[in-house]
Chain A
Amino acid sequence: MENLYLPQLAVIDQIVDETPDTKTFTLHFLDERYNKAFSYKPGQFVEVSVFGKGEAPFGLCSNPLRKGNFRITVRATGTVTNALHEAKVGDVFGVRGPLGNSFPFEEVMGHDILIVAGGIGLPPLRSLIEPIFDKRNKFGEFTILYGARTPTDRVYKDALEEWAARDDVRLLQTVDRADETWTGPVGVVTTLFEKIKVDPKRTFAFTCGPPIMIRFVIQDLLAMGFADDHIISTLERYMKCGVGKCGHCAIGHKYICVDGPVFSWRQIKVLPER
């Protein structure tokens, strides 16, 4: 029987500073065969082990269509994440995954796509954004809205610049508090809705960010006329096992680690609030 809890060793190839408290790590598995076979879908996550400190879940933020390595973006908040932030290129960690369900990708081909991301919610959505670019002709209108606390708090500044320059996507950004470098809009991400035109009938909306933001985004999407199953979001809970056994991530009768983290509003709205 396969051992559910044993991680695979993975080595850090690259570390990028995103914001003062956030870094992106590119990793690959030491076992070459395992690395070759490793595949995942947009929205899935991995459990990363820092031996002696513990294990923590992180959304995969790399492009699932590109093999060979994978990326996670980590904000330093506690034991495991601080230890990861001290890591150097070449350091080895344990990784279990991919875990959880995924964003619908093939299923939403032929539709317009609206992405609404807040702060550290952009990383999991990036695993969906990049494959959409790879298969751009399979999708209709493509809009990305991104909100962050301040301009420095935005992750993936290079990629944002690149997306902004493309003519096959509409990227709008906003910050809660501007600084001298910022010439764009100021305000919460939902203020960007009035600047765009979407046809709710033809569009799938994907949103990820702090729970309070998600709540307001969904409210507005519903008001715009989006159907319950055209609104796709992620739920986050404290997780331990990642495989539906430890009980920590349960909401109602759903285990976020295996039934989620991706849910449509149709599924979320019937769950008990807590």
Chain B
Amino acid sequence: MKVGQKYTIDKQAFLAVLDSLRKGAKLIGPTPGPDGDVVFREVASVAEFTFDYVNEFDPVKRFLIPHRQDLFRFTLGKRPTFEPLVDSSPQVLCGIRSCDVKGILHWDKFFSGTYLDNYYLEKRANTTIISVACNKPLDTCFCICCDGGPWLEAGFDLQLTDFGDRYLIHVGSKKGIAILEKIKKGLVAATQEDLQRRKELMAKCDSQMVPTAYVAKAIIQITNNRVREELWEEMGFECFSCGGCTHVCPVCTCYDVADYMESPTCGVRLRCWDSCQYSGFTREASGHNPREKTKERIKRRFYHKLSYAYVKLDGHQGCVGCGRCITVCEAIGLLDLPAVVKRLRREGQPEPEQLGAQRHSS
């Protein structure tokens, strides 16, 4: 068996294999939520899974970057002592969507480099990703604009495509191979017909994508500082600084660090999610705050997501097209990524007369 190969298998047979993974790892996947939504959580059996969903409202971020992560526990004293609290227990993330896998690939790069973030990387090394390519988008999905989906060619351990009674399985890694090797019977190499069917499903999903985000133009606008301050100011008035957009974003990772005392002598140093959209994010001890105004923070968020400087640093724009900021933002339709991309594109577009004048003078 090799990476890149494709197989098909009866759904029930594959679910049985998934269930067997519970022996050595936490099995995490889509379950029915309280309001008819879908919530990813650890299950005691695959029977708890639901497959009638497109995507979860929250990204799977919390399973790799917990809301609160304890870094080490310390005991005060003449000579303080501390013990690291690295959690590297194995987990299998089932049923996550392509855009969220792309988000994880972004973190893999971000938390590596010169400084290796051992808390993230050890959790990640013990995480298996079984993703599902999308046959149908939500009306907020725009991953095709961001190279975030609806299916992927790499990055997952196994990628499933739903064929109704069967799954088409795309092998993405050695970890994925190890899972498939547990299957005693029923796994068959994908036929030409299967591959054709997959192609058609992909094309159909692509064609159903509604929102558009022509990020290329927005990147040019931001990179060349062609956006009027007035537009950022306008957006600053519209934003509630709630930080919802960054919390639901499968690319955003900023965190705060703090000490928390559990008893008079014992405490933990922890990190927890933070947001560049909060006014306290850059406030210095002196009281000086370089991004005190909401417009400055909004500008920051989109500079990080869309400037060429970051595209070059990260290899891609800071958005995978999951559409969650569309769902979450209270400034409905104004500050989500596709909306802002649209507003940026219109910036500094010379009127036809002006264009003529420029040509004439040059």
Task: Tell me, yes or no, whether B303 is within 8 Å of chain A by CB.
Answer: yes
Do A78 and B285 have beta carbons less than 8 Å apart?
yes
The reply to whether the CB of A240 lies closer than 8 angstroms to some CB of chain B is yes
Complex contact A252–B254 (CB within 8 A): no
Expressed in whole angstroms, the Cα–Cα distance for A253 and B315 within the complex equals 13
The answer to the question of B276 belonging to the interface, with a C-beta cut-off of 8 Å to chain A, is yes
B258 CB contact (under 8 Å) in A9, A54, A238: A54
- Note all chain B residues with C-beta closer than 8 A to A49: 269
A1 touches B299 (CB 8 A): no
Of B80, B86, B119, B307, the contact of A51 (CB 8 Å cutoff): B80
Q: How far is the CB of A250 from chain B (nearest CB, A)?
A: 7
Contact with A along B99-142 (1 / 0, CB 8 A): 00000000000110111111101100000000000000000000
A-side contacts of B113, CB under 8 Å = 244
Interface string of A45-69 (1 = CB under 8 A from B): 0000101111110000000000000
- Is A51 in contact with B117, judged by CB distance below 8 angstroms? no
Q: How far is the CA of A54 from the CA of B261 in the complex (A)?
A: 11
**Which residues of the partner chain A approach B284 to less than 8 Å between Cβ atoms?**
236-238
Q: Kindly state the separation between the CA atoms of A121 and B119 in the bound complex, as whole angstroms.
A: 34
| Cβ < 8 Å to B, chain A residues 242-257 | 243-248, 250-253
Provide the residues of chain A in CB contact with B111, threshold 8 Å.
Answer: 245
Closest to B72 in A: A6
Measured between alpha carbons, how far is A219 from B111 in the docked complex, in Å?
38
Known: A5-B119, A258-B114. A92 touches B78 (CB 8 A): yes
Chain A contacts for B261, CB-based, 8 A: 52
Shortest Cβ distance from A92 into B: residue: B79
- Taking a contact as CB atoms closer than 8 A, the residue among A240, A252, A272 that contacts B257 in the complex is A240
Pick the contact of A240 from B256, B276, B303, B312 — CB < 8 Å?
B256
Known contacts: A3-B84, A252-B309. The answer to whether A54 contacts B282 by CB under 8 A is no
B85 → A minimal CB distance (Å):
10
**Which residue of chain A has its CB nearest to the CB of B312?**
A253
B217 at the interface (CB under 8 A from A): no
If over half of B's interface residues share one DSSP class (helix, strand or loop), that class is named, otherwise mixed; here it is mixed
Q: Is the CB of A55 within 8 A of B257?
A: yes
Of B115, B282, B300, the contact of A245 (CB 8 Å cutoff): B115
Indicate which residue in A52, A241, A248 contacts B267 across the interface (CB closer than 8 Å): A52
Determine the residue in chain B with the shortest Cβ distance to A243: B115
Q: Is B22 an interface residue (CB 8 A)?
A: no
Q: Which residues of A contact B303 (CB under 8 A)?
A: 252, 272
**How many Å lie between the Cα of A52 and that of B73 in the bound state?**
10
Q: Bound state CA distance, A151 and B114, in angstroms?
A: 43
Q: Is A2 interfacial (CB 8 A cutoff)?
A: yes
- Contact A54 to B259, CB < 8 A, known contacts A94-B80, A246-B254, A247-B276: yes
Known pairs A54-B257, A247-B274; A5 contacts B269 (CB<8 A): yes
Are B282 and A248 within 8 A (Cβ)? yes
Residues of B contacting A94 with CB < 8 Å? 80, 82
Please name all residues of chain A whose beta carbon is closer than 8 Å to the beta carbon of B258 when the two chains form the complex.
Answer: 54
Q: How far is the CB of B221 from chain A (nearest CB, A)?
A: 14
A195 in the interface (beta carbon within 8 A): no
Whether the Cβ atoms of B299 and A274 lie closer than 8 Å is yes
- Within the complex, the shortest CB–CB distance from B89 to chain A, in Å, comes to 16
Task: Tell me the smallest distance from the CB of B325 to a CB of chain A, in Å.
Answer: 17
* Nearest Cβ on chain A to B24's Cβ, whole angstroms: 21
Among A1, A9, A53, the one with the most B-chain Cβ atoms within 10 Å of its Cβ is: A1
B255, A247: Cβ atoms closer than 8 Å: yes
B86 contact from A3, A52, A251, Cβ within 8 A:
A3
Closest to B225 in A: A272
Q: How far is the CA of A101 from the CA of B258 in the complex (A)?
A: 25
Q: Which residues of A contact B259 (CB under 8 A)?
A: 51-55
Q: Which residue of A lies closest to B311 (CB)?
A: A253
Does B71 have its Cβ within 8 Å of any Cβ on chain A?
yes
Shortest CB distance A76–B (Å)? 10
The 3 closest A-B pairs by CB, nearest first: A247-B254, A253-B309, A243-B115
Give the A-binding residues of B (Cβ under 8 A): 71-72, 74, 76, 78-80, 82, 84, 86, 110-111, 113-119, 121-122, 225, 253-259, 261, 267, 269, 271, 274, 276, 281-286, 288, 290-291, 296, 299-300, 303-304, 307, 309-310, 312-313
What residues of chain A have their CB less than 8 Å away from a CB belonging to chain B? Answer: 1-7, 9, 30, 49, 51-56, 77-78, 81, 92, 94, 211, 236-238, 240-241, 243-248, 250-253, 258, 272, 274
9 contacts between A and B (CB under 8 A): A3-B118, A4-B119, A51-B259, A244-B113, A246-B254, A246-B274, A248-B254, A248-B282, A253-B310
